[in-house]
Amino acid sequence: MPRKKDGMPFEVFPGPRKAANGEKRLYASPQSGMKKTLQEVEDFYSYKYSFRRGDLTRLFEAFQDIASMAMSMGYRIETPIGVFSPKLGMKRKLTNPDEVKHDDVRLQGVDYKCAKAFTKNLRSEIGHEGFRYVRQPASSRIILNQQHLEEALQKSLKRNKGYTTVTSFANYSGLTEYSARKVLNKWCSGNNPKLQCTRVSRAMIYTEI
């Protein structure tokens, strides 16, 4: 059967739950590395709408400011793509409501509940093309192969004349940039680190110790 060439690309990974045969169940995730900035999305799809360059970015920036002000007063923000609300947590483990003080509460982030119409639009865009299985080695399997990681590190160091970056190491190892960063940072920690991390301008470079 010829390999499918259209549809949303996805990968599969072993999950935490096990099947009846004792093996880990698989879960699907969009292909790693598939990312566009808001500006890139705006540029790519501008032919469909009468946006001026930067309009979409400015709208999101304005929404971020306005929504933050409203949520700081406790409001939930309903939008066409879903509902945004402040996510709160407790700083202390308390069981008696009478012991709670104003400074026992902290902001943990922002909750987002996707609108059904937004999901429906996405499902419609996927349409008959469906999904495309990208059979790449799972990052979890690559990470277990220490020899491969060591060889990838040395290749990257040699290519960059003594240092590596997350992107370079990811390219040689086959890891996603997220997983590559975790491996590099792990090599920078502990009692006997093999790498040290240094910020140069906006980039982080890793060199051998």
CA distance 82 to 71: 15
H or E element at residue 167: helix 166-173
C-alpha separations of 58 from 39, 61, 80, 141, 147 in Å: 10, 5, 18, 41, 47
**pLDDT reported for residue 4:** 67
Instruction: Decide if 67 contacts 77 (C-beta within 8 A).
Output: yes
Tell me if 19 sits within 8 A of 25, measured CB to CB. Answer: yes
- Enter the pTM of the model: 0.61
Distances, alpha carbon 180 to alpha carbons 75, 143, 166, 177, 200, in Å: 39, 9, 6, 5, 19
Q: Where are the domains of the chain?
A: 8-35+76-133, 139-208
Q: What is the pLDDT of residue 202?
A: 77
**Range 139-144 contact pairs with CB under 8 angstroms and sequence separation of 24 or more:** 139/13, 139/32, 139/175, 139/176, 139/179, 140/13, 140/14, 142/173, 142/174, 142/175, 142/179, 143/175, 143/179, 143/183
Residue pLDDT tens, the chain, 209 long: 456 678 998 888 777 788 888 888 888 888 876 788 888 888 887 777 877 888 888 999 999 999 999 999 999 999 999 999 999 999 999 999 999 999 999 999 999 999 999 999 999 999 988 999 887 666 667 887 889 899 999 999 999 889 999 989 988 888 888 889 999 999 999 888 999 999 887 788 999 98
pLDDT attached to residue 61: 95
Does domain 139-208 fall under CATH 1.10.10.10? My reply is yes
